[in-house]
Structure 1
Amino acid sequence: MNIRQFAERSGVSADTLRYYEKIGVLRRLARNPSGHRQFDRSDLDWIAFVLRLKATGMPLADIRRYAELRSQGPATEAERQALLEAHARDLEKRIARDRRHLAAINDKIAFYRQH
């Protein structure tokens, strides 16, 4: 796929894809003979994972670090796992906090319904 096709399929703008490549989130992209980026299914899987990390609040610096470790191969699996475990703990804390906020909002809604 070229960048336009990849952008359409991934839901990520071409500008964002170029930025992700520039900062190292997208690495080792294939190029055609004229130098244009070429994407494949593995790139779609990777960007979907990046989007999931981003949607769950992982800082871009941590996503970049994860991408860097990923590019270094299997020897970095323990460090990648540790990054994901730390992110999961942070996400669980945010979810718990959001549940408390939601409960307070629902209490207020119940108050208004009674009046």
Structure 2
Amino acid sequence: MDLSIGEVAQRSGLSVHALRFYEREGLFANPVRRLSNGRRIYYEEDLEWLAICTKLRSSGMSLATIRQYIELVRQGPGTEHQRLELLRRHERQVEAQVQELRETLAVMRHKVRIYEEHLARGDAHQLWNPSHPDAAQAETRQECQPSDGA
């Protein structure tokens, strides 16, 4: 089934501008086809690729790496090991990002807990108060030492 750029935009959640950008950057697995009047036409497989491509982008994969992956796909059989290695490399990067986010979340949960405790005691005015130098140091010590389960 042929799809217009507007239909692909609606179904993919990408803007028409973003779809044109993806095309210019060579980010489609298959070249975008055009009708004799120049209008772009897309197929379901293009939507499937866009779903993967947008996940790769949102996970931090660079445009250059996506292009490299696409080029390997276009080369066809015989590039599977290279594609796998490229994906494994990115998988390791995403795992590192997830670990960093977990650590950040633990600090944020601990910080929220500190503020909740101080607000409940009525002494939250001391937290990061430049006129009370010991308070900033105390909060920093508390923030940098998340308790178990944080």
For normalisation by structure 1, the TM-score amounts to 0.91
* Deviation >6 Å, runs of 4+: none
Alpha-carbon distance in 1 for matches of 2:17, 2:75 = 26
Flag the structure with more relative contact order, 1 or 2, with Cα contacts below 8 A and sequence separation at least 6.
1
Q: What is the Cα deviation at residue 66 of structure 1?
A: 1.1
Query: Aligned with 1:33: secondary structure?
Result: coil
Does residue 24 of structure 1 match 2:26?
yes
Does residue 102 of structure 1 match 2:105?
yes
Of 75, 79, 94, 1:76 maps to 79
Q: Which has the higher helix share?
A: 1
Of 15, 26, 50, 1:47 maps to 50
Asked whether the equivalents of residues 24 and 68 of structure 1 are also in contact (C-alpha less than 8 Å), the reply is no
Aligned residues: 115
Does residue 60 of structure 1 match 2:63?
yes
Alpha-carbon distance in 1 for matches of 2:101, 2:74 = 34
Q: What is the Cα deviation at residue 56 of structure 1?
A: 0.9
Moved more, 66-75 or 83-92: 66-75
Which runs of 5 or more structure 2 residues have no equivalent in the other structure? 119-150
Q: What is the Cα deviation at residue 75 of structure 1?
A: 1.9
Which runs of 5 or more structure 1 residues have no equivalent in the other structure? none
Identity %: 39
Alpha-carbon distance in 2 for matches of 1:86, 1:58 = 10
- The alignment's C-alpha RMSD in Å is 1.3
Alpha-carbon distance in 2 for matches of 1:76, 1:13 = 32
Deviations 1:58-87 (A, max 9, x none): 111111111111111122211111111101
